[in-house]
Amino acid sequence: MSIEERAKATAENIEGKVQAAVGEITGDPKDKSEGRAKQAEAEAIHAKEDVKDTLKDIID
């Protein structure tokens, strides 16, 4: 488990949520879509780390 990668992904997820919310408030579709993309990327990083953790547990 890479704590560093998970922390970066969590920070990116928060940034994406804020950007999407700002886009929602201002009506800017670009900010909304970029914010959602950041959230999706963060979810993918978390999923990758979960797979790595599972594989490590199986190997150990």
Residue 47 burial (C-beta neighbours within 10 Å; 0-12, 13-18, 19+): exposed
pLDDT at 1: 54
Mean per-residue pLDDT, 35-56: 95
Sequence ranges of the domains in the chain: 3-59
pLDDT digits (tens, 9 = 90+) for 7-39: 999 999 999 999 999 999 999 999 999 999 999
Please give the model's pTM, rounded to 2 decimal places: 0.83
pLDDT at 2: 81
Taking the alpha carbons at both ends of the chain, their separation in whole angstroms is: 13
Given a contact cutoff of 8 angstroms between Cβ atoms, the answer to whether 44 and 37 are in contact is: no
